[in-house]
Structure 1
Amino acid sequence: MIDNHDATKRNLLPLTGVILAGGRSRRMGKDKALLKVSGKTTIERITNIVTKTCQKTLIISNDIDKYQFLNKKIVKDMYVGKGPLAGIHAGLRAANTEWCFFIANDMPLITRSIVFDLYEISKEYSQCDAIVPRVKGRIHPLCAFYKTSALRKVESCLEKEELKMSNFLSKINVHEVVEKPLYEKGYSEEELDRIFFNMNEPCDYRKVLEVFK
C-alpha cells in the first residue's frame, strides 16, 4: 500500500506519540497487536509510523516483556483494569510535550500523512483540550490529540469510576475534525475509510490483509 501523501512529510511533529497496546482482543480471539500484516506485527507497523511522525514514542502496556522487541519506552497504567481511559492517563502522565497523539493498536492502516494533516488542521484550535476526528459520524477518540494539561480531568474521571471515553470527552473542550477539511487536503472517502478502519474481529483482519495484497 502506498501513502501518496507521505512524500512531502519530512519533519517530526512536536508531539509524544502514544500507542495504546492494552485491550483483551476478545472478539478477535487472539492478541491484535501481534497479528502479522505484510510481514510485521500490527503494533510494529503502528510504532514505525509513530516514530517517523512524533518526536517521542511511548507504548502503554501492563505487559512490558511482550513489547520489548519494539525498543521503545513502555509505560504501565497507574489505574490497572480501567480501560482505554487509563491508557490516556498513563500517556499524558509520562509525556514531556504539550500535546500527545494517541493511537490504538487496532488501527494498522494509519498513515504518517493523516497525523501531519490532522495536526496542521488543528493548529488554530490549540486552546482545546483534545482534537478528535469524526468520520462518517463515528468519533475516533483513540486516534486523536490530547493536551497534557487534561491529565487532572482524566484522573477525576478515573477516581469517580467514570470510565467511558464519551463521558470524559463531554467534560473537556474538544474540537472534532470532520471529513471536509480532510477532503480539502486531498483525501478521498475511500482513503479515509481505510485509514480509520478498526480491526476488531477476524473478518476485519482479513480485510486488512487484502489491502496489502
Structure 2
Amino acid sequence: MNKLGSAVILCGGKSSRMGFDKSKIKINDTLLLDITAESLEEIFDEIILVTDKKEKFRNSKYTIIEDSKKNCGSAEGIYTGLKYASSEYVFVLACDMPVISIEYIKYMMTIIKNNNNIEGVISKNGKWIEPMHSFYSKNMLPHFKEALDQNKLKISKIIENGNMHYIEERIIRKYSKDLNIFINLNYIEDLSILNTINYKGKKSYGHC
C-alpha cells in the first residue's frame, strides 16, 4: 500500500496528573515520541507535532506547529493539525499513546481509499469513540473552528454532523486483541506498561 496523507501527534496538554511533560517520556535514551513518529513514517509522508510550546522541539526533524489558541485541549490540536497538514486526510494520535498497530491504520486507510467522500474514520471502544486514534478530513475544519469559537470542545459533539465512518470494537480487536492501542499514560504508575512493550529491544523507561 502506498503512503497516505499526514499523521499528527498531539504534544500539548498540561500533564498535571503525570507530574512532568509526557512528550519527554523516554524508552532507554530515546523519546517515546520519536519512536512513535518513526513508526508512523512507515505509512505517512508527513509527520506533524502539534504543541503548546514550539521551542520544546527545536531540534526535532519533524514539522512543528504551535497551537494558536491555548487551553482548548485536543479539539484545538486536531484543528491545528488539520489546518497545516499538506494532505486531505490526517491521522491523529496523542504523544502518550505507546502502542501502535500499523496494520490497523492501513485498514483505516483502505476505508478512506474506498470511500473518499467520508470526512473521517473514527475508532470506537464499546459505545465510546477514540478521537485520538482516528482520521479526519480537512472538510471538518469549519466544524472544529465553530466549536472552538463557541468553546464547545467535546470532540464527539464536534463530529456529530460530519460524514464519519465508525469502526466497531469487534473489528478493531482483529488488529489489537486487547485494545491496547487505546492505552494512554496519565499517571506515573502507568509508565510500567512500557516495560511490557518491545520497542526494538528497548524496554526500560524514564523521562528528561
TM range (shorter): 0.7 to 0.9
**Number of aligned positions between the proteins:** 199
Q: 1:189 and 2:177 equivalent?
A: yes
Deviates more, 1:81-90 or 1:132-141: 132-141
Deviates more, 1:36-45 or 1:159-168: 36-45
**Alpha-carbon distance between aligned partners in 1 of 2:156 and 2:127, rounded to the nearest angstrom:** 14
Please, what TM-score do these two structures have when normalized by structure 1? 0.84
User: Which residue number corresponds to residue 193 of structure 2?
Assistant: 207
Kept in 2: contact 1:19–1:59 (CA 8 A)? yes
Kept in 1: contact 2:48–2:62 (CA 8 A)? yes
How far does the alpha carbon of each residue in 1:47-104 deviate from its partner, in whole angstroms, 9 at most, with x for none? Answer: 1122222111111013122112321111111222211111111111101211111111
Kept in 1: contact 2:13–2:52 (CA 8 A)? no
How far does the alpha carbon of each residue in 1:136-194 deviate from its partner, in whole angstroms, 9 at most, with x for none? Answer: 444210111000121111111111111111221223222211133345xx53523xx22
The 3 A distance-change label for structure 1 pair 95 and 187 is closer
User: Which residue number corresponds to residue 154 of structure 1?
Assistant: 144
Deviates more, 1:32-41 or 1:97-106: 32-41
**Alpha-carbon distance between aligned partners in 1 of 2:116 and 2:182, rounded to the nearest angstrom:** 23
**Alpha-carbon distance between aligned partners in 2 of 1:44 and 1:195, rounded to the nearest angstrom:** 17
Q: Which amino acid aligns with 2:134?
A: A
Q: Which amino acid aligns with 2:157?
A: N
Please, what TM-score do these two structures have when normalized by structure 2? 0.86
Kept in 2: contact 1:121–1:181 (CA 8 A)? no
User: Which residue number corresponds to residue 3 of structure 2?
Assistant: 13
Q: Which amino acid aligns with 1:62?
A: D
CA deviation after TM superposition for structure 1 residue 29, in Å: 1.3
Q: 1:105 and 2:95 equivalent?
A: yes
Among 33, 52, 55, the alignment partner of 1:65 is 55
Among 132, 143, 153, the alignment partner of 2:122 is 132
User: Structure 1: any 5+ residue segments left out of the alignment?
Assistant: 1-10
**Alpha-carbon distance between aligned partners in 2 of 1:199 and 1:12, rounded to the nearest angstrom:** 31
What secondary structure sits across from 1:189 in the alignment? coil
**Alpha-carbon distance between aligned partners in 2 of 1:133 and 1:38, rounded to the nearest angstrom:** 31
Q: 1:174 and 2:164 equivalent?
A: yes
CA deviation after TM superposition for structure 1 residue 119, in Å: 1.4
User: Structure 2: any 5+ residue segments left out of the alignment?
Assistant: 204-208
**Alpha-carbon distance between aligned partners in 2 of 1:38 and 1:187, rounded to the nearest angstrom:** 27
User: Which residue number corresponds to residue 88 of structure 1?
Assistant: 78
CA deviation after TM superposition for structure 1 residue 124, in Å: 3.4
User: Which residue number corresponds to residue 104 of structure 2?
Assistant: 114
Q: 1:48 and 2:34 equivalent?
A: no
Note the aligned Cα RMSD (angstroms). Answer: 1.9
Structure with the larger helix share: 1
